[in-house]
Each structure stands twice: as C-alpha cells, then as structure tokens.
Structure 1
Amino acid sequence: MVTAKELENLYLKMPGTEPVTLTTKRGVNNDVLQTQSISHAWQRDITRDDVAKGLVLTAPEGIVWNIPDVLLAGKEIETGDTITDSDSVVWIVMSITRVRLRTHWRCICRREK
C-alpha cells in the first residue's frame, strides 16, 4: 500500500504544478477563515460542459484546479472557498468533485472580480 509520504513525494516530481493557498470559509456566517498552503496543485482549462452548466459565463473567467487530497491534511473543500494561485489571482470554488478514486479534488472555479 502506498503511504501518504510516498504520495506527497510523487507530487514533488510532477511537472506543471504550482503552489496555491486554499482559504476556507466556515461558521454560521462564513466568518471563520482558515488558510492552508498547498505545495502542488495544477490547472486545467474549463470544459464546454462546465460553461453550459452556468458555473462560469465564459471560458476565460473559469479554470479547473486539481488538488491532491493527501496535501489537504484532512480538510475538505467546499463551494465558496477560494484558491489563490502563485500569481496572486483569487479563484472562487463554484463546484467540487472528488475524482481519481477520491484522491483528488476537481474544483471548478471562477476568477474573483
């Protein structure tokens, strides 16, 4: 069985990843903010199906972030959370799906205005 440490080392070698910051908003009024650095996440272009679902209006304003579950240290991503990329662009999580045998979070995001 693969250990969490072995998976973490795998992401260190994976090309095309970048560090991001996840900001979670919890509490009754979303007033409890927590930030977490994620060492390796990667972007993918948004699909036509994602645009058709109304999650974003146009492809340029949306992106898909893939975040390995093992790097979240037990936290979960929810809609309304934000992902800040290495260029300080803030992305609002609009939809979340667990993919690849629940090892990754696929986050459809809209650029914050």
Structure 2
Amino acid sequence: MVTTQQLDRLYLKMPDTESVTLTTKRGVNNDTTATVTVSHAWMRDISRDDIARGLATTAHEGIVWNIPNVLLAGAEIETGDTITDSSSVVWTVMSVSRVRLRTHWRCICRRQK
C-alpha cells in the first residue's frame, strides 16, 4: 500500500507546485472553520468555458487550483471554502469537481477583493 509520505515525495517532483492552505467553513452559519495545509497544489489558468459560466469575469480574477485528495487528510472541499496561496492571495472556491479517477480536486476559484 502506498503511504501518504510516499505520495508527498512524488508530488515533490512535480513542477510548479506550491503550498496552500485550505480553509473549510461548515455548520449552520458557516461558523465552524478548519484549516488544512496542502504541501503540493498547482494552479492553472481558468478556461473560457468557466468564464462563460459566470464563475469569473476575467482570467485575472479566476484561477483553477488542482489539489491531490491524498494530501487533504480526509477533508472535503465545497463551494465557499477558501484557498490561500503562498503569496497570501485568498481564493474563494466557486465550483469544485473530482477529476483523474477522483484522485484530485479541481477547484475553480475567484480572487477575493
């Protein structure tokens, strides 16, 4: 069985990854928050289709974060959660889906103002 430590080393070899912090908001009034630090996430430009769906108005405002499920320590990502990148920019998750045989989260995010 592959351990989380082994997978973490695998992601070390991937280019253009960075450490991010996921902040989840749960509860009736979103009053229960938890944070998870993900050692290796990577961002990609938002697609024109995502902009057309209204998830962001410009490419500068939106980004797609890809986060490996195994590095989340059991956390689930939902819309409204936030991702803080290594430059302290906060991104709000507008849409989330599981991709690559459900091993990665694809989060379409909008930059907070």
1:60 is paired with a residue of what secondary structure? coil
Residue 55 (structure 1) aligned with residue 55 (structure 2): yes
Aligned CA-pair RMSD:
1.0
Q: CA deviation at 1:3?
A: 4.1
Please give the residue correspondences for 1:92-111 in structure 2 after superposition, counting only pairs within 5 Å.
92-111=92-111
Give the letter for the 1:13 counterpart.
K
Please give the residue correspondences for 1:1-113 in structure 2 after superposition, counting only pairs within 5 Å.
2-113=2-113
Q: TM-score, normalization: structure 1?
A: 0.95
Q: CA deviation at 1:58?
A: 1.1
Counterpart-to-counterpart distance in 2, 1:88 and 1:39: 15
Counterpart-to-counterpart distance in 2, 1:9 and 1:100: 19
Give the letter for the 1:30 counterpart.
N
Give the letter for the 2:93 counterpart.
V
Task: Give % identity.
Answer: 76
Give the letter for the 1:60 counterpart.
H
Gaps of 5+ in 1: none
Q: CA deviation at 1:12?
A: 1.5
Q: What is the number of equivalent residue pairs in this alignment?
A: 113
Gaps of 5+ in 2: none
2:60 is paired with a residue of what secondary structure? helix
Deviations, residues 14-45 of structure 1 (Å, cap 9, x unaligned): 11100000000000000111111110000000
1:108 is paired with a residue of what secondary structure? strand
Q: TM-score, normalization: structure 2?
A: 0.95
